[in-house]
């Protein structure tokens, strides 16, 4: 049995990963990093869902202050925009999430970290670079690569099969 920390948002991709990893007999700790996008009610619903899907535990780590202090205030001060219109806050929050996930994994003696990034954008790279840098001895499980998923339809079919 692997002891795995799964970066968990409660969406289709991470819910699929949670169910599949737990069905394979792993001890999966679903960890949500809240950088300001979730209400208390949403976090409670996410917790219920995670536990129902087989999570060994669920925790939501409040990283709003850290995200602001380490990232957002500098983007605001510098008025940093991509293509002169798009704030860089979304992509930059991944490093805060990676730092917190690695810290949780170390604190809970987990040897593996998993994420549900599809590889369609750069989030997979952002997460994994952070995991490699901050958690050098922790192995990474990247489901979209190792399970050779072809489309979100695969995830939806799996979700339907497992209710």
* pLDDT tens-place string over residues 111-149: 998 887 766 667 777 788 888 788 888 888 887 777 777
% of the chain beyond a pLDDT of 70: 94
Residue 64: per-residue pLDDT: 94
pTM: 0.77
CA separation for the pair 98, 120 (Å, rounded): 18
Residue closest to 115 by CA, chosen among 85, 88, 94, 137:
94
CA separation for the pair 118, 44 (Å, rounded): 25
CA separation for the pair 7, 31 (Å, rounded): 5
Instruction: State pLDDT tens for residues 87-102.
Output: 676 677 888 888 899 9
pLDDT beyond 70 at 153: yes
Q: Which residue has the higher pLDDT, 57 or 132?
A: 57
CB atoms within 10 A of CB 153: 9
Q: What is the tally of helices (H) and strands (E) in the chain? A: 8, 7
Residue 45: per-residue pLDDT: 97
CA separation for the pair 142, 153 (Å, rounded): 18
């Amino acid at each position: 049995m692997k002891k795995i920390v799964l970066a968990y948002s409660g969406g289709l991709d991470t819910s699929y990963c949670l169910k599949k990893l737990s069905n394979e007999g792993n001890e999966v700790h679903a960890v949500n990093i809240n950088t300001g996008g979730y209400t208390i009610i949403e976090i409670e619903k996410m917790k219920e869902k995670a536990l129902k899907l087989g999570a060994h535990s669920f925790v939501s780590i409040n990283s709003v202050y850290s995200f602001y202090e380490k990232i957002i205030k500098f983007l605001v001060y510098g008025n940093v925009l991509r293509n002169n219109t798009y704030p860089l806050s979304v992509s930059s929050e991944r490093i805060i999430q990676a730092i917190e996930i690695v810290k949780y994994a170390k604190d809970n003696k987990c040897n593996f970290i998993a994420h549900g990034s599809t590889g369609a954008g750069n989030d997979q790279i952002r997460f994994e670079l952070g995991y490699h840098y901050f958690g050098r001895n922790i192995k990474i499980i990247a489901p979209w690569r190792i399970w050779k998923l072809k489309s979100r339809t695969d995830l939806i079919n799996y979700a339907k099969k497992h209710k």
